[in-house]
Amino acid sequence: MPKHAVAFDIEKYLVLAGIPRGPKSKFYIVDPTNGSDNNVGTSFKAPLASLAAAEALCVANQHDVVLYLSGSSGLTLSAALTWSKDYTHLIGLCAPTRMAQRARIFQLSTLTGASPLITISASGCIFKDLYIFQGVDDATSLINVKLTGGRNYFENVHFAGGGHATQAVTGGASLLLDGAEENTFVNCTFGVDTVDAGTGMMGILFDSEAHRNLFERCTVRIRAGNAGAGWVQVVDATGIDRDNTFVNCLFLNNSATALTSGFVIPAGMGAPRKLLLKDCMALGSTKLDANDRGVLYGNMNAVTGADLSGVAVQLIS
């Protein structure tokens, strides 16, 4: 090592990054460019090549950490991945940009039926600085990430589903919260605006009484190829329970085709089932809820008329 070089202290980094550590905690390095799954994975000189191999080495409930080192190429999944071990964290080592982070996870172009591509069934995990992109010509791979676990924390994660026109259709979503509860999303992005989204393509889906999930300073992006696409959909009358809250979030449709309803909410939803929007803004939707289900609550005040609270308008023409 050069005379003035300073070794990267992984344990110190994890503490400074706010990653919990316990008496049995271990860490594993994933480097898809230079790694091999035959390595031990405990140093940058002998990293693993795949997330599946790293997750398999982790032990639930002891705050093991997988560090994914970004590089010139991404990590491609040849099979759907399940993250099932509680208190096991996944951190991308890359510039902390808000979109298309360079710690990239892709679907192999020949992989079919990956719906979801990634399932997160574990609880108590931390995910940071990751880009999860699903963009292949396969109509059987529609859900990018499915979250069933609870009390997980996501920061600076881009859930990029619908990255191919074949996938950006009814049933497609960047994130499905299926019974997920009390998860927190901070500075995350959902969706892409590089593909025309067809009818029914959504940024976020709620199902199975998902509840008390918090989205803070997040962005939901879409480029509508059809007015029937949307930012958020509640799958059925029991898709959510109690409240799910969006604070200081942006809902953007970068298309000349306005969404008929930015939020798609079914009939028959009874109390207490609410979506709360605090200090949010929406661009590119005719109405937030075209059916006026009485489920959306916000504090943004009317901008251009009833049910358009928080909808962006051109201030200078």
Residue-range domains of the chain with CATH: 74-298 (2.160.20.10)
Q: Does residue 312 have a pLDDT over 80?
A: no
What lies within 8 Å, CB to CB, of 99 at 6+ separation is 131, 158, 189, 219
In sequence order, what are the beta bridge partners of 281? 250
**pLDDT score for 271:** 80
**pLDDT score for 304:** 44
Average pLDDT over residues 253-265: 96
**pLDDT score for 225:** 97
Q: Does residue 306 have a pLDDT over 90?
A: no
**pLDDT score for 311:** 63
pTM of the full structure: 0.93
Q: Does residue 317 have a pLDDT over 50?
A: no
Residue closest to 20 by CA, chosen among 83, 63, 66, 84: 63
Average pLDDT, the chain: 92
Average pLDDT over residues 257-269: 95
Q: Does residue 258 have a pLDDT over 60?
A: yes
**pLDDT score for 299:** 82
**pLDDT score for 309:** 61
The Cβ of residue 286 has, within 10 Å, a number of other Cβ atoms equal to 14
Residue closest to 184 by CA, chosen among 160, 156, 208, 207: 156
Q: Does residue 162 have a pLDDT over 60?
A: yes
- Are the C-beta atoms of residues 196 and 167 closer than 8 Å to each other? no
pLDDT band at 277 (very low <50, low <70, confident <90, very high): very high
**pLDDT score for 302:** 52
**pLDDT score for 126:** 98
3-class SS string, the chain: CCCCCCCCCHHHHHHHCCCCCCCCCCEEEECCCCCCCCCCCCCCCCCECCHHHHHHHCCCCCCEEEEEECCCCCEEECCCEEECCCCEEEEEECCCCCCCCCCEEEECCCCCCCCCCEEECCCCCEEEEEEEECCCCCCCCCEEEEECCECCEEEEEEEECCCCCCCCCCCCEEEEEECCECCEEECCEECCCCCEECCCCEEEEEECCEECCEEECCEEEEEECCCCCEEEEECCCCCECEEEEEECCEEEECCCCCECCCEECCCCCCCCEEEEEECCEEECECCCCCCCCCCEEECCCCCCCCCCCCECCCCCC
